[in-house]
Amino acid sequence: MMRDADVGIATLSLGPLPPSALRERVAGTSDAKWFDESGARTVEEWRQALAVAGRRLSDFGTILDFGCGCGRALRHLEANLLPTQRLIGLDVDAQAIAWLAASYPRVTSLPLEAMPPTSLATGSVDLIVAHSVFTHLPEDIQFKWLGELSRVLRSDGVFVTSVHGAKVIREYRHALQSQGRHNEGGSFDATMYLKGFCHVRGRTQAEMTLPEYYGAAFHDIRYIVDHWQQAFELLAWLPTFALGHQDVVVLRRRAG
């Protein structure tokens, strides 16, 4: 079987599916078919997003899946790695990481504290991917993790992440409206208008083991242009590209 990170998605060598409770914690559903298919789709989206920025998955020696959870996308990345590539998965969810470490020995799976730093060496990673992680962090914690990711990413390395952009913002706003939560809607609008970023705290039952700061974060692309570009240069913005829902941004770590 062809094992090329840039040639479609191979499924024959896929490792095991995580248990349903871990699947539900990252996906909001334990549906095994959705978990498997959406993971393959996320990797294909990363491949296409990199292509928009003129890069290929096979260009990168060490790939970090930041906030990998129980490996929804990481399983598919692993199945497509070249023998020379190294894959690291990091998450604050110690149970998910323990399961990955036992089930995917070829992947370096490491648990994180709720706050940086990681144990990774400075400049040791070539590509960072993160699906639906910065969609959950409050602003100050977001900046702490962005700082840490820029530390571990090599100069000129690439960072592909999803954010809750215009489509999710509209859906959230509509939900507040239809639930009659007009005051919250008004203050959400004002914050998004003035700042371009808003974080709303709240964990589902399945997410109660995650840090208490966990919630929903919303990013206007203007905010990313204005606030993320000290450490990273924005290479591409793909609205609603991640599973037809979240926006994808591709960034390059600035030198120095």
Q: How far apart, in whole angstroms, are the C-alpha atoms of residue 23 and residue 239? A: 26
Least CB distance to ligand SAM at residue 213 (A): 8
Q: Indicate the DSSP class of residue 174.
A: H
Q: How far apart, in whole angstroms, are the C-alpha atoms of residue 198 and residue 194? A: 10
Q: How far apart, in whole angstroms, are the C-alpha atoms of residue 59 and residue 52? A: 14
What residues make contact with ligand SAM under the rule CB under 6 A?
26, 67-69, 72-73, 91-93, 112, 114, 131-133, 136, 145, 210-211
End-to-end, the C-alpha distance of the chain in Å comes to 41
Least CB distance to ligand SAM at residue 118 (A): 9
Phi-psi map region of 210: left, alpha, beta (phi>0 left; psi -120 to 50 alpha): beta
Q: Is the bond preceding 111 in cis, omega lying within 30 degrees of 0?
A: no
- Neighbouring CB atoms inside 10 A of 138's CB total 18
Q: Indicate the DSSP class of residue 49.
A: H
DSSP bridge pairs for 160 = 129, 250
Our CB check for ligand SAM shows the closer of 189 and 213 to be 213
Q: How far apart, in whole angstroms, are the C-alpha atoms of residue 153 and residue 61? A: 12
Q: How far apart, in whole angstroms, are the C-alpha atoms of residue 210 and residue 203? A: 8
Structure token pair of residue 238: 């793909």
Our CB check for ligand SAM shows the closer of 26 and 192 to be 26
DSSP bridge pairs for 62 = 86
Least CB distance to ligand SAM at residue 48 (A): 16
Q: CA gyration radius for the chain?
A: 18
Least CB distance to ligand SAM at residue 175 (A): 18
Least CB distance to ligand SAM at residue 190 (A): 26
CA dihedral 157, 162, 166, 168 (to 10 degrees): -170
Our CB check for ligand SAM shows the closer of 111 and 157 to be 111
